Amino acid sequence: MSKRISIGPFTRINGLWHLKVEVENHKISDAWSIGTNFRGLEIILMGRDPRDAPYLTQRICGICSSTHALTSSFALEKAFNLEIPSNGALVKNLIFACDLLQSHLRHFYLLVIPDYVNLPRVNPLGPSLVFSDRLPEGKKNRLLKNYDHSMEITQGLHEMMVIFGGKAPHNHGILAGGATVPPDADKIRMFRAMLSQVESFVEEALLPDLEALSSAYPEYYEWGKGYENLLTFGMFPDPHNPGELLYPPGIIKKGEKGPFQEERVNEQARYAFYQEKEPLKPREGKTTPLFERGQPYSWIKAPRYGEEVFETGPLARQALRGKYSGGTGAMDRIYARGLECHEVVKEMDKWLGDLEPEGPVFKEYEVPARGEGEGYLDAMRGGLMHSVKIKNHKIEHYQIITPTAWNCSPRDNSDRRGPLEEALAGTPLEDLENPVEIGRVARSFDVCGSCAVHMVDLKGIELMPGRKLI
């Protein structure tokens, strides 16, 4: 007998989101990933001064804000034909790397761990799922201590962002043309001292906790696999080679590596609440909300690579660079994300050493009357794209495609499920009253509903719970 399970709002993710699955014989037979609000940033940006875009687009989200500043500034620098000073590129990378680390660490300790380890229950707001702990007492206690400590470490990472970015989230340090804060010996010394605490935490807490968790739940290397197609736009602009990225772009299709081709990216919206249904490239992309009954069920469009479905994230980056050689299951995503923390801390140490104290961080420029640029860069959760067209010195067109849009997209125009929907299909559920496996697989993607959509549509929310999906 089949059964429907509906979880909404789906918690311990960033932002709002809703998930429905169909279960047959204790196995998920189908899934629907539902973005429940509308993001209208593209509309807000029309007619604005292009230089505002890195600041305004950061407001999409609190957990990955700097990535929008970085990618937006990257797109604008292409539109302005600007080469920025290497010091500025280093400062931008340092700000973004702090944000990446706080996001990855918060994801592991605060969002993932409660799916696998029973935490002490202090004034719970509602009933939680019931499952038995698998970790031995000693490892569990160490993990719980590190859970608390992770909050201090991630707060410290925000404080590090403030050294070069003025505030966190939504920093003021990253903009088109470079950065706002020139490094000096004092700032570098402060940043380095705090970085060494992060490094110790990653090596002494995160890596052993990751090992303990993954060896206690080996079935999650098999569960949550999905299409096994991985995509990265590349990450961290190379401060010394303008136009190059330190982590290269690329794809892995069923185990085969290949180049990433920007012209293949398109968005499809048959199942999304938007007027334009046909596949559109980012340059032509439109954001015309249209709530309608019938097929559509999400405010997230379906980004596709040509006609193929790809997931994106740290696993794609690590696998493409030969740093991770496991599979593509839920635990592989979690493991690769943890390994990336270790690598990024080491990169940051190198970048600090490359900074030229008091050296220039910004290249002055005039905003051209016309121009156009696309920034393809990985955010913490995977490939992020900002596309801008400028006319009469103002933004005429802007489009954003976020990593969560890739990973948590609804079905596309050919009825193919999104990566997370596909990853859930086939997952066994032991206890239908406590379907803890759903959260474990879904959260391995580090979902962010805020980035993928924005701004609440009260009418939509009212209608959503009662709507028939199929």
Smallest distance, Å, CB 330 to ligand NFE? 18
Distance in angstroms (rounded) separating the CA atoms of residues 172 and 56: 11
Smallest distance, Å, CB 400 to ligand NFE? 8
Closer of 330 and 452 to ligand NFE (Cβ):
452
Site for ligand NFE in 29-58 (CB under 6 A): none
Determine if 451 is a binding residue for ligand NFE (CB under 6 A).
Answer: yes
Closer of 101 and 384 to ligand NFE (Cβ):
384
- Is-contact 255 391, C-beta < 8 A? no
Determine if 404 is a binding residue for ligand NFE (CB under 6 A).
Answer: yes
- Which residues have a Cβ under 8 Å from the Cβ of 65 and sit 6 or more positions away? 58, 59, 99, 168, 169, 170, 171
Choose among 287, 315, 285, 282: nearest CA to 299. Answer: 287
Sole binder of ligand NFE in the list 23, 75, 206, 452 (CB under 6 A): 452
Determine if 429 is a binding residue for ligand NFE (CB under 6 A).
Answer: no
- Which residues have a Cβ under 8 Å from the Cβ of 191 and sit 6 or more positions away? 94, 160, 163, 164, 352
Closer of 381 and 440 to ligand NFE (Cβ):
381
Closer of 427 and 450 to ligand NFE (Cβ):
450
The conformation of residue 395, written as its DSSP 8-state character, comes to E
Determine if 101 is a binding residue for ligand NFE (CB under 6 A).
Answer: no
Choose among 166, 154, 144: nearest CA to 198. Answer: 154
Choose among 441, 171, 204: nearest CA to 345. Answer: 204
Determine if 385 is a binding residue for ligand NFE (CB under 6 A).
Answer: no
- Contact mark string toward ligand NFE, 106..135, x via CB under 6 A: ------------------------------
Closer of 74 and 217 to ligand NFE (Cβ):
74
Closer of 105 and 380 to ligand NFE (Cβ):
380
Distance in angstroms (rounded) separating the CA atoms of residues 417 and 298: 13
Sole binder of ligand NFE in the list 380, 385, 388, 425 (CB under 6 A): 380
Task: Print burial letters for 86-106: b (CB count within 10 Å at least 16), e (below 16).
Answer: bbbbbbbbbbbbbbbbbbbbb
- Is-contact 340 118, C-beta < 8 A? no
Which run of H or of E encompasses 346?
helix 330-354
From 62-70, 236-244, 342-350, 431-439, give the range in contact with ligand NFE by CB under 6 A. 62-70
From 170-178, 220-228, 436-444, 449-457, give the range in contact with ligand NFE by CB under 6 A. 449-457
Choose among 245, 262, 250, 13: nearest CA to 115. Answer: 13
Amino acid, single-letter form, for residue 211: E
Output the CA–CA distances (angstroms, integers) from residue 346 to 318, 336, 397, in the order listed.
Answer: 15, 16, 38
Smallest distance, Å, CB 418 to ligand NFE? 13
Binding-site residue total for ligand NFE (CB under 6 A)? 16
- Is-contact 95 174, C-beta < 8 A? yes
Smallest distance, Å, CB 451 to ligand NFE? 3
- Which residues have a Cβ under 8 Å from the Cβ of 120 and sit 6 or more positions away? 144
Determine if 63 is a binding residue for ligand NFE (CB under 6 A).
Answer: yes
Smallest distance, Å, CB 14 to ligand NFE? 5
Sole binder of ligand NFE in the list 61, 98, 168, 309 (CB under 6 A): 61
Smallest distance, Å, CB 378 to ligand NFE? 8
Binding site for ligand NFE (CB under 6 A): 14, 61, 63-64, 67, 379-381, 384, 402-404, 448, 450-452
